[in-house]
């Protein structure tokens, strides 16, 4: 599988470390539900998924990858700062 | 030795295009020597030497011979080579002859001709599909007896246990288009794509290009192939990989290919595993001919029609004089013509009412019977005659070779790997891909159901334009449906390699295993090393008929990589022996080795475990000696492997403050602080010391084991969670060599080496830091202590590490400075009750390890673990908390992982333990065996009480008194001296 | 004053001479010792260029590139991150003039071992362990690749070629000897020649 690092270009997936859901946001308050969801709850979508990978064997940039969990097709990848909220 | 002559009719055809009759090659099969030619396969050479019996079948041990001329061979499976180089289960049709080649048949005893296990054939009625689910049930105790016999009887070849002496290697390649298959369609596609300027790799599993076209006798075809090859060779943007099987198609345009490499020199690999990254692919993978299922269709001498053609025209072997051809399509008639030209007697048994090309054959002296089938082949260990059934009548015909053709099946494995499911097409009368084109792949030639030579070439050219050749698909061979012969009286094989016969499929269906996936697994059809290449379609048709439904309704099973077997050595490549795993060495490594240190693997690192005084000193004694020396004099240990992370930037302080539980915003320049890092779920993640090097620069240490994960964690916080903080983190583990100098004399030694810094207790107090020089080299001195003695950690740039180590020893000799290893280092910290990974195993909290005050005092608004660290449940007094244990019996030492109970005996299981032992050692200072442990209720409940540490697996029980985990100098007076 | 000696991580494996297949054009390998290397983290590229240009006569490179002059070379090594490798001792002082506000500097002279390889077979040899396209048309002079060999050895590869294919491989020091073994083994089938180490600084 190939993942395109925004800096280094397309690279083999073995250069990356998978870190999970990219849409989770660290709560800015003490809301119990927000913290519970942040630490413990993850959606498990069938289909398009935004996930975080770190280019550990390369430039060590964190990359958001939009990938289909069913077909493994990779749609796009970009830096976390460029992620738009759905 | 047997010369290739006209022995029993086996003659070499002089017009053959694939062998070099000028170069003879000697080889041995089953202990007998034979001669072949350069270009021969083991199969063709044996056929030329009139050896038809090559193997015994898997279950029934039926005599078997060569059936194909390619990688789909299910029968002629032999053991290649000897000793450490032996390769079992190798197809004779794919073994190129080389001088001195040795091969042996398998799965037979005592010999191929007289195999005792062929008795299985007599009992075949009881050994049908799935017999093992219904037998060997009673008595249950006898199973262990049956098991040994079955184990010996099962399997085909035997693998060696010796180390593989050959080199195998890997290679990563990139291209714009990968063309799989160098037959007519593949060659023309590659040329057309190359002409567009595309970067192309073309691969073929055979050692010469041309595919099936090589097996024709027409000179024009041979010239065409040679022409295309030389055109491709001349192009810089084309790479040709021959003897290279593209065995798997994976996500993202990655393909795995296995090459049987040319031996250019002594260091060439034998196998080369290519990872090919292709933007697009053209699958010109061709088609495979099907056998027909009839009685004894596995007798040696029965083979596929294209294979006979290959042996005759390409390898120049004429294995018989009296040939019968059994067919349901037109593709065999060229073969018939070729054989008549060579003076053979030819009889064609054609199942169809009408065959257009038959006329020419009859005119040339051959016989053609229409509306006829071969019901049974007959003969002892090889074919002698066939029993033909035509319009209600049977008659026998002598023959020494029977060539059969049941039609052609496109090879669509790679497409299947990528998720395409082929489906049976009633017009083409074979399977077909629903889509010839996907986003990045296109299928051409016979793999797309195109049979005419010119059409195949055309389809390849069209692919270069991105067009599929759907319009060229046809049943141009006029195939008519005939999958099995109902008039057969003998066993009819469907899957040769796994010995699956016709009744097995009917049996599966009768017993309710009706889905194609169930039939496959119940009968094991298609599960052998050939993945059922010559069996699947026939089985599909037989199943459809048994179920009374259409072929489309039955469906197909999934093909998975590899297309053909890949040796484990190829996957391993050169990652064996020295290269199995990388080794990380500190700058001081070679000094340790030269001075007799016993080295320990710590992850990828090598660390000195202890330095034995002499050959006889054991670990037990060495670590006690070393740690005693540290506590009484001074020792030094190489601590380079600890993670060191540099955190720089105007927001560095805020960043560090958020990462740790305890406060770091008050840390002054030149000061070091111990920090505990939590996870967001509130449990302890890691600990270490962080030093403020300068205004906006901090250096954080981590445990060796967590160095990588802490760095990753910090980078994530930096780039994803708090990108607004102006901070930069990166590893400096390799920049600095680290030496810990510890013991009452450590300051005296340090004073000897630093250039002109004041390292007195006032100038450099406990948890202080200063930057200075040693012999002009930059040095950082951290006054921290893992051992509990006065200690200094000295960092110098790694290039100077070994030199500094030797210099320290020289300058420290007056104070008896000696090195110590990780074993004594670990024992020292246990005496002090310092926690490490054994205690911070991901299940423990700050309260558990005795740092509850850190959390109580924490008023920070933002820090990792801020929410969940405050769980009420973490204050539960029942939680297991850190304590110390002292063995009441001086001769008994603890075992890590022991479970703690209040009782000396375990009388009833299961039983809940109160806790467990995490670390243990002998304490020379207390002359006692001690341990660190977690126990429910902690010190407040158990101090001074007696508990028992049980390790039932070793039948060990140690009586212990619970004490403070700080076994020596609990006030830390020595540290601060 | 007593001197502390700088030692190479490759010492025990550095065997001079020709090894492997006896072919016409062996790969030449040698260590580049004594390079002064710094890690530079930058928050304001323009501000830093404003300081580097007059002091060192060099600008920060673009992503995946390098900038080189007679005394120093600057390699891009990540988002906002650079490796400055210099042969001259004075460079360290010049670099320390760079401001804290816009960037952060860190001496990394011991953190990596630098091996230079040269020859026509270099790309084929490296392709054994790199899952990155290093074909002539794609990996050109001046470019920098951050990747790992054989999934294990983290490297920075700088294409320094002009006439003959030449590459500098910066390997994390603790892995260096292990990597050197891998490099030499990979080069056996092409033949390789280990020549005297280059000393700098």
| Cα-based distances in Å from B174 to B204, B253, C27 | 17, 10, 22
Of B172, B581, B726, the CB nearest to C130: B172
Chains in contact with C, counting 3 or more C-beta pairs less than 8 Å apart as contact: A, B
CATH number at residue A36: 3.30.2270.10
- Among C91, C107, C123, give the residue marking a domain's end: C107
Q: How far is CA B143 from the centre of its chain?
A: 33
Round to the nearest angstrom and report the end-to-end CA distance of chain A: 26
pLDDT beyond 80 at B665: yes
Q: Could you tell me the pLDDT band of residue B121, with boundaries at 50, 70 and 90?
A: confident
User: Which residues of chain B make contact with A54, given a CB cutoff of 8 A?
Assistant: 712, 715-716
Q: How far is CA B785 from the centre of its chain?
A: 45
Could you tell me if residue C79 is inside a domain?
yes
Q: Which of B310, B409, B390 is nearest to B350 (CA)?
A: B390
Q: Could you tell me the pLDDT band of residue B232, with boundaries at 50, 70 and 90?
A: very high
Predicted confidence at residue B151, as pLDDT, reads 79
- What pLDDT, in 10s, does the model give residues B349-394? 999 999 999 999 999 999 999 999 999 999 999 999 999 999 999 9
Question: Do residue C83 and residue C161 come from a single domain?
Answer: no
Helix B619-632 and helix B822-832: axis angle, to 10°?
A: 60
Half-sphere exposure at residue B912, Cβ-oriented, CA atoms within 13 angstroms = 5
DSSP string over B791-835: EEEEEEEGGGHHHHHHHHHHHTGGGTEEE--HHHHHHHHHHHT--
Angle at C146 between CA C140 and CA C152, to 5 degrees: 125
pLDDT beyond 80 at B962: yes
Predicted confidence at residue C92, as pLDDT, reads 67
Query: For the residues B909-929, what does the mean pLDDT come to?
Result: 95
Q: Give the DSSP H or E segment for B259.
A: strand B254-260
Query: For the residues B501-520, what does the mean pLDDT come to?
Result: 94
| Cα-based distances in Å from B311 to B70, B161, B302, B335, C193 | 11, 36, 13, 11, 48
Query: For the residues B433-437, what does the mean pLDDT come to?
Result: 93
Name the residue of chain A whose CA is nearest to B419's CA: A71
- What pLDDT, in 10s, does the model give residues B595-633? 999 999 999 999 999 999 999 999 999 999 999 999 999
The distance of A15 to chain C (nearest Cα, Å) reads 7
- Among C84, C107, C130, give the residue marking a domain's end: C107
Which of B146 and B300 is assigned the larger pLDDT? B300
Chains in contact with B, counting 3 or more C-beta pairs less than 8 Å apart as contact: A, C
Name the residue of chain C whose CA is nearest to B805's CA: C4
CA B923/CA B937 separation, integer angstroms? 25
Which residue range is the domain that position A55 belongs to? 2-82
Across the interface, do C148 and A57 touch by the CB < 8 Å criterion? yes
Predicted confidence at residue B2, as pLDDT, reads 31
Query: For the residues C36-63, what does the mean pLDDT come to?
Result: 89
CA B242/CA B229 separation, integer angstroms? 11
**Sign of torsion, CA B178 B184 B185 B188?**
positive
Of C11, C21, C41, the CB nearest to B648: C41
pLDDT beyond 90 at B844: yes
Domains B166-290+408-480 and B291-405 share a fold: yes
Question: Do residue C57 and residue C87 come from a single domain?
Answer: yes
The helix/strand count (H/E) of chain A reads as 1, 6
Q: B with C: how many residue pairs have Cβ under 8 Å apart?
A: 148
The second-level CATH assignment, the architecture, of B166-290+408-480 is 3-Layer(bba) Sandwich (3.50)
Q: Among A71-80, B110-119, B507-516, whose mean pLDDT is lowest?
A: B110-119
- Ramachandran region of residue B252, left (φ > 0), alpha (ψ -120 to 50) or beta? left
Could you tell me if residue C93 is inside a domain?
yes
| Cα-based distances in Å from B870 to A40, B655, B656, B841, B936 | 16, 21, 20, 19, 20
CA B409/CA B449 separation, integer angstroms? 8
Across the interface, do A60 and C151 touch by the CB < 8 Å criterion? no
Q: Could you tell me the pLDDT band of residue A86, with boundaries at 50, 70 and 90?
A: low
Which residues have C-beta within 8 Å of that of residue A74, sequence separation ≥ 6?
A: A1, A2, A3, A4, A65, A66, A67, A68, B252
Across the interface, do B720 and A80 touch by the CB < 8 Å criterion? yes
CATH number of B291-405: 3.50.50.60
In degrees and rounded to multiples of 5, residue B628 shows phi and psi of: -60, -40
Q: Could you tell me the pLDDT band of residue B575, with boundaries at 50, 70 and 90?
A: very high
B564 DSSP 8-state letter? S
Q: Which of B47, B52, B54 is nearest to B16 (CA)?
A: B47
The distance of B277 to chain A (nearest Cα, Å) reads 9
Name the residue of chain A whose CA is nearest to C156's CA: A58
pLDDT beyond 90 at B7: no
Q: Could you tell me the pLDDT band of residue C93, with boundaries at 50, 70 and 90?
A: low
CATH number at residue C125: 3.30.1360.120
pLDDT beyond 60 at B10: no
The distance of B754 to chain A (nearest Cα, Å) reads 37
Across the interface, do A19 and B716 touch by the CB < 8 Å criterion? yes
- For chain B, which residues make up each domain, given as ranges? 11-134, 166-290+408-480, 291-405, 493-554, 591-641+735-829, 643-731, 876-977
- What pLDDT, in 10s, does the model give residues B420-431? 989 999 999 999
- A83 shares contact with chain B (CB less than 8 Å): no
Predicted confidence at residue B131, as pLDDT, reads 80
Q: Testing the interface with C: which of B167, B171, B172 to mutate, by most C Cβ within 10 A?
A: B172
CA B497/CA B178 separation, integer angstroms? 31
pLDDT beyond 50 at B8: no
User: Which residues of chain C make contact with A12, given a CB cutoff of 8 A?
Assistant: 131-132
Question: Do residue C121 and residue C171 come from a single domain?
Answer: yes
Q: Could you tell me the pLDDT band of residue B218, with boundaries at 50, 70 and 90?
A: confident
Number of folded domains in chain A? 1
User: Which residues of chain A make contact with B720, given a CB cutoff of 8 A?
Assistant: 52, 62, 80
CATH 3.10.20.440 for the B11-134 domain, yes or no: yes
Question: Do residue C101 and residue C117 come from a single domain?
Answer: no
pLDDT beyond 70 at A6: yes
CATH number of B643-731: 3.30.70.1400
Helices (H), B264-419: 305-309, 333-341, 358-363, 413-417
Q: Which of B184, B180, B190 is nearest to B224 (CA)?
A: B184
Domain B591-641+735-829, CATH number (from 3.40.50.720, 3.30.1360.120, 3.10.20.740, 3.40.640.10): 3.30.1360.120
Of C78, C81, C154, the CB nearest to A57: C154
Across the interface, do A60 and C78 touch by the CB < 8 Å criterion? yes
Mean pLDDT (chain B, rounded): 94
Query: What ipTM was estimated for this complex?
Result: 0.97
Across the interface, do A61 and C79 touch by the CB < 8 Å criterion? yes
Question: Do residue C192 and residue C121 come from a single domain?
Answer: yes
Number of folded domains in chain C? 2
The distance of A49 to chain B (nearest Cα, Å) reads 17
Question: Do residue C101 and residue C142 come from a single domain?
Answer: no
Question: Do residue C93 and residue C187 come from a single domain?
Answer: no
Q: Residues B898, B951: contact at Cβ < 8 Å?
A: yes
Predicted confidence at residue C201, as pLDDT, reads 64
Q: Could you tell me the pLDDT band of residue B152, with boundaries at 50, 70 and 90?
A: confident
Q: Which of B386, B390, B410, B416 is nearest to B400 (CA)?
A: B386
Which residue range is the domain that position C62 belongs to? 36-107
3-state secondary structure B474-543: CCCCCCCCCCECCCCCCCEEEECCCCEEHHHHHHHHHCCCCCHHHHHHHHCCCCCCCCCCCCHHHHHHHH
Across the interface, do C3 and B648 touch by the CB < 8 Å criterion? no
Beta bridge pairs of residue A76: A66
Q: Testing the interface with B: which of C40, C45, C174 to mutate, by most B Cβ within 10 A?
A: C174
Angle at B139 between CA B136 and CA B143, to 5 degrees: 55
Q: Which fold does the domain B876-977 belong to in CATH? A: Elongation Factor Tu (Ef-tu); domain 3 (2.40.30)
User: Which residues of chain A make contact with B715, given a CB cutoff of 8 A?
Assistant: 54, 60, 62
Predicted confidence at residue C53, as pLDDT, reads 84
- What pLDDT, in 10s, does the model give residues A47-65? 999 999 999 999 999 999 9
Question: Do residue C129 and residue C171 come from a single domain?
Answer: yes
DSSP string over B292-318: -B-BTTTSTTEEEHHHHHIIIIIS-EE
Beta bridge pairs of residue A13: none
The distance of B369 to chain A (nearest Cα, Å) reads 52
User: Which residues of chain B make contact with C152, given a CB cutoff of 8 A?
Assistant: 581-582
Predicted confidence at residue C1, as pLDDT, reads 57
Helix B502-510 and helix B516-523: axis angle, to 10°?
A: 120
Q: Could you tell me the pLDDT band of residue B5, with boundaries at 50, 70 and 90?
A: very low
Beta bridge pairs of residue B962: B885
CA B834/CA B847 separation, integer angstroms? 15
Helices (H), A1-86: 32-40
Other CB atoms closer than 10 Å to residue B863's CB: what's the count? Answer: 19
Say whether A73 sits in a helix, a strand or coil.
coil
- B195 shares contact with chain C (CB less than 8 Å): no
Q: Give the DSSP H or E segment for B552.
A: helix B551-554
| Cα-based distances in Å from B357 to B128, B348, B362, B363 | 41, 11, 9, 11
- What pLDDT, in 10s, does the model give residues C165-196? 999 999 999 999 999 999 999 999 999 999 99
Could you tell me if residue C181 is inside a domain?
yes
**Sign of torsion, CA B353 B354 B358 B360?**
positive
CATH number at residue C99: 3.30.70.1520
Query: For the residues B262-270, what does the mean pLDDT come to?
Result: 94
- B695 shares contact with chain C (CB less than 8 Å): yes
Predicted confidence at residue B1, as pLDDT, reads 29
């Amino acid at each position: 599988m190939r993942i395109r690092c925004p800096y280094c270009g397309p690279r083999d997936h073995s250069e990356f470390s998978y870190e999970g859901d990219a849409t989770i946001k660290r709560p800015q308050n003490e809301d119990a539900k927000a913290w519970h969801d942040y630490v413990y709850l993850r959606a498990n979508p069938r289909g398009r998924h935004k996930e975080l990978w770190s280019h550990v064997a390369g430039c060590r940039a964190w990359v958001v990858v939009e990938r289909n969990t069913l077909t493994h097709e990779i749609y796009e990848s970009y830096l976390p700062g460029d992620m738009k909220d759905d | 030795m047997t010369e290739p002559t006209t022995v029993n009719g086996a003659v070499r055809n002089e017009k053959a295009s694939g062998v070099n009759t000028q170069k003879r090659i000697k080889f041995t099969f089953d202990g007998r020597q034979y001669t072949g030619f350069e270009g021969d396969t083991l199969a063709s050479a044996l056929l030329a030497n009139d050896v038809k019996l090559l193997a015994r079948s898997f279950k029934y041990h039926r005599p078997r011979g060569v059936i194909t001329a390619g990688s789909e061979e299910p029968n002629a499976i032999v053991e290649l080579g000897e000793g450490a180089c032996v390769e079992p289960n190798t197809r004779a049709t794919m073994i190129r002859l080389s001088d001195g080649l040795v091969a042996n048949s398998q799965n037979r005893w005592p010999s191929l001709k007289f195999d005792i296990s062929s008795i299985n054939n007599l009992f075949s009625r009881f050994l049908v599909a799935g017999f093992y689910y219904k037998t060997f049930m009673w008595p249950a105790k006898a199973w262990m007896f049956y098991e040994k016999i079955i184990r010996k009887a099962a399997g085909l070849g035997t693998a060696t246990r010796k180390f593989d002496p050959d080199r195998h290697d890997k290679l990563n390649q990139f291209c714009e288009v990968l063309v799989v298959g160098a037959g007519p369609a593949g060659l023309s596609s590659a040329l057309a794509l190359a002409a567009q300027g595309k970067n192309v790799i073309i691969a073929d599993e055979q050692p010469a290009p041309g595919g099936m076209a090589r097996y024709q006798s027409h000179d024009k075809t041979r010239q065409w192939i040679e022409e295309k090859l030389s055109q491709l060779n001349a192009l810089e943007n084309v790479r040709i990989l021959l003897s290279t099987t593209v065995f798997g198609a994976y996500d993202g345009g990655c393909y795995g290919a296995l090459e049987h490499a040319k031996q250019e020199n002594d260091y060439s690999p034998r196998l080369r595993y290519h990872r090919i990254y292709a933007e697009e692919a053209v699958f010109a993978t061709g088609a495979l001919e099907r056998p027909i299922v009839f009685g004894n269709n596995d007798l040696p001498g029965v083979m596929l029609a294209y294979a006979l053609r290959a042996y005759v025209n390409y390898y120049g072997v004429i294995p018989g004089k009296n040939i019968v051809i059994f067919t349901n399509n037109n593709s065999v008639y060229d073969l018939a013509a070729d054989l008549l030209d060579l003076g053979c007697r030819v009889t064609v048994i054609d199942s169809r009412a009408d065959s257009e090309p038959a006329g020419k054959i009859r005119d040339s002296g051959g016989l053609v019977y229409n509306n006829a089938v071969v019901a049974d082949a007959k003969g002892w260990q090889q074919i002698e005659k066939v029993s033909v059934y035509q319009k209600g009548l049977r008659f026998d015909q002598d023959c020494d070779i029977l060539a059969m053709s049941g039609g052609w099946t496109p090879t669509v494995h790679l497409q299947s790997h990528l998720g395409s499911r082929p489906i049976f097409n009633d017009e083409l009368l074979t399977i077909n891909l629903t889509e010839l084109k996907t986003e990045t792949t296109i299928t051409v030639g016979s793999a797309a159901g195109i049979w005419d030579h010119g059409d195949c070439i055309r389809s390849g050219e069209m692919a270069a334009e991105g067009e599929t050749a759907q319009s060229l698909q046809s049943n141009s061979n006029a195939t008519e449906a005939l999958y099995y012969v109902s008039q057969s009286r003998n066993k009819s094989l469907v899957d040769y390699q796994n010995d699956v016969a016709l009744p097995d499929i009917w049996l599966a269906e009768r017993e309710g295993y009706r889905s194609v996936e169930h039939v496959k697994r119940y009968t094991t059809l298609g599960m052998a090393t050939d993945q059922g290449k010559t069996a699947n379609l026939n089985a599909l048709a037989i199943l459809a008929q048994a179920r009374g439904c259409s072929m489309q309704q039955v469906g197909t099973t999934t093909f998975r990589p590899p297309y053909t077997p890949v040796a484990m050595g190829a996957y391993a490549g050169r990652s064996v022996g020295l290269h199995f795993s990388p080794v990380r060495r500190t700058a001081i490594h070679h000094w340790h080795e030269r001075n007799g240190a016993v080295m320990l693997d710590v992850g990828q690192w090598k660390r000195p475990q202890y330095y034995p005084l002499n050959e006889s000193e054991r670990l037990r004694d060495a670590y006690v000696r070393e740690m005693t020396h540290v506590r009484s004099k001074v020792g030094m240990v190489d601590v380079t492997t600890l993670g060191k992370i540099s955190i720089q930037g105007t927001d560095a302080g805020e960043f560090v403050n958020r990462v740790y539980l305890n406060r770091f915003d008050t840390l002054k320049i030149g000061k070091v602080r111990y920090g505990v890092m939590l996870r967001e779920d509130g449990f302890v993640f890691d600990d270490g010391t962080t030093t403020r090097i300068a205004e906006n620069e901090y250096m954080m240490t981590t445990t060796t084991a967590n160095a990588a994960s802490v760095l990753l964690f910090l980078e994530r916080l930096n780039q994803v969670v708090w990108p607004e903080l102006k901070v930069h983190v990166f590893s400096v583990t390799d920049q600095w060599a680290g030496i810990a100098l510890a013991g009452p004399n450590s300051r005296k030694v340090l004073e000897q080496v630093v250039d002109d810094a004041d390292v007195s207790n006032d100038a450099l107090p406990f948890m202080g830091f200063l930057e200075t020089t040693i012999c002009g080299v930059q040095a950082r001195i951290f006054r921290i202590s893992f051992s509990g003695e006065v200690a200094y950690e000295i960092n110098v740039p790694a290039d100077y590490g070994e030199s500094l180590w030797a210099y320290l020893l020289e300058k420290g000799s007056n104070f008896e400075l000696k090195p110590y290893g990780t074993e004594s280092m670990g024992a020292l910290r246990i005496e002090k009750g310092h926690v490490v990974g054994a205690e911070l195993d991901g299940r423990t909290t700050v309260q558990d390890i005795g740092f509850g005050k850190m959390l109580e005092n924490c008023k920070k608004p933002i820090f990792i673990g801020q929410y969940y660290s405050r769980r009420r449940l973490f204050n539960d007094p029942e939680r297991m908390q850190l304590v110390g244990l002292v063995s009441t019996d001086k001769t008994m030492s603890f075992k890590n992982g022991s479970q703690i109970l209040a009782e000396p005996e375990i009388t009833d299981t299961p039983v809940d333990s109160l806790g467990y032992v995490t670390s243990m050692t002998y304490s020379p200072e207390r002359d006692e065996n001690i341990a660190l442990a977690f126990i429910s209720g902690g010190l407040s409940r158990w101090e001074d009480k007696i508990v028992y540490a049980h390790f039932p697996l070793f039948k060990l029980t140690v009586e212990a008194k619970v004490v403070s985990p700080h076994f020596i100098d609990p006030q830390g007076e020595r540290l601060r001296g | 004053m007593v001197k502390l000696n700088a030692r190479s991580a490759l010492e025990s494996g550095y065997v001079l001479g020709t090894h492997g297949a006896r072919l016409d054009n062996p790969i030449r390998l040698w260590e580049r010792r004594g390079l002064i290397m710094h890690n530079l983290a930058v928050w304001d590229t323009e501000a830093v260029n404003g300081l580097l240009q007059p002091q060192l006569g060099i600008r920060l490179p673009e992503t995946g590139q390098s900038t080189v002059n007679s005394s120093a070379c600057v390699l891009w090594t990540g988002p906002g991150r650079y490796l400055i490798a210099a042969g001259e001792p004075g460079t360290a002082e010049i670099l320390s003039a760079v401001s804290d506000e816009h960037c952060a500097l860190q001496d990394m002279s011991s953190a990596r071992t630098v091996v230079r390889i040269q020859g026509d077979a270099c790309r084929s040899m490296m392709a054994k362990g790199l899952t990155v396209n290093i074909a002539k048309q794609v990996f050109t002079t001046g470019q920098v690749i951050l990747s790992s060999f054989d999934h294990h050895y983290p490297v920075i590869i700088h294409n320094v070629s002009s006439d003959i294919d030449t590459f500098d491989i910066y390997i994390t020091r603790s892995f260096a000897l292990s990597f050197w073994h891998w490099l030499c083994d990979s080069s056996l089938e092409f033949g390789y020649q280990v020549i005297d180490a280059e000393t700098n600084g």
